[in-house]
Amino acid sequence: MANMTANKANAAQAPKMSAREILASTISTMVSDGKAEKIADGQWKFSGIDTGNGAQDYMVKVSSKQGKSGKSFMKRELVRIENGAEKVVELGEFKKQYLYGIVKNLVSPKVARPQRTKIPYAEVLALRDEIKKNKDKFHIDENGTLIGKASIGDIEIVTGAIKPMKNDHKRNFGRKLYVNGTLIHEGSQLNCCFDTFNAKGRVKKAPVAKPAAPKADKKTSK
């Protein structure tokens, strides 16, 4: 009961969003969802937004202007379309909070990062074991690419790019495995193949014979 009372009290204290904030938040969400309609350079339309007064159409406009000092700046505007006419909507305190981010995402939309090509890690480990057993069939060329003939075909493992990290630590990014010219795997899991190829074989040391302990002189009894 105490938790329920506290939640109700927090909900009562939470300030309600104004119509302007609801409008800005809705447009921001539509941009993230890819629902902005580009109608011209620097102009995007948002249809059917209802902030409590019925569905209306809006438009975000971006243009380059020159100030009195001669410096250029970006003018950001939100307008409501009424009977074919445009009326500027003043967002007030919410302009910088929302409109700047909306314009940034419209002008430079985020590009989805492509998924890396993957095969089961067990297959990578199987290739590693094959390299370990048949090192004479593999070599590293002048570009740092591991090349050789494996049971799955002619392989090439590109070394990638080494980038410095924190604490003087370095990591390799961009390793790729090609089989018969086709990319089949990407990522740091391929490090094990390089590590195995570069590893020096362990040689068992021959046991060192310990020197025999000197025999004690036997005293002859008279």
Q: pLDDT digit string (tens) for 70-124?
A: 788 888 999 999 888 999 999 888 898 999 999 999 988 877 777 788 999 999 9
Q: Is residue 222 part of a domain?
A: no
* pTM of structure: 0.48
Question: Are 24 and 95 in the same domain?
Answer: yes
Q: Tell me the two tokens of residue 212.
A: 């025999």
Is the per-residue pLDDT at 218 higher than 70? no
Question: Are 132 and 84 in the same domain?
Answer: no
Domain span at 188: 121-198
12, with CB counted inside 10 A (0-12, 13-18, 19+), is exposed
For residue 118, which of 194, 177, 184 has the smallest C-alpha distance?
184
pLDDT computed for residue 213 by the predictor: 65
Name the pLDDT band for 1 (thresholds 50, 70, 90): very low
> CA dihedral in degrees (48, 54, 59, 65; nearest 10)?
-170
CA distance 87 to 99: 16
Question: Are 80 and 125 in the same domain?
Answer: no
Question: Are 93 and 135 in the same domain?
Answer: no
Q: Tell me the two tokens of residue 9.
A: 């009290």
CA distance 71 to 113: 36
3-state secondary structure of 5: helix
Question: Are 171 and 97 in the same domain?
Answer: no
Contact criterion met (CB below 8 Å) for 148 and 139: yes
Q: Is residue 73 part of a domain?
A: yes
- Cα-trace Rg, the chain: 35
Q: What mean pLDDT is reported for the chain?
A: 83
Question: Are 133 and 96 in the same domain?
Answer: no
Name the pLDDT band for 214 (thresholds 50, 70, 90): low
Reported as a single tens digit per residue, the pLDDT across 171-190 is 667 889 999 999 999 988 99
Question: Are 64 and 134 in the same domain?
Answer: no
Reported as a single tens digit per residue, the pLDDT across 23-78 is 999 999 999 888 999 999 999 999 999 888 789 999 999 998 877 887 888 889 99
The phi, psi pair for 131, rounded to 5°, reads: -65, -40
Question: Are 134 and 100 in the same domain?
Answer: no
12-20 mean pLDDT: 71
Question: Are 56 and 28 in the same domain?
Answer: yes
Task: Give the chain's domain count.
Answer: 2
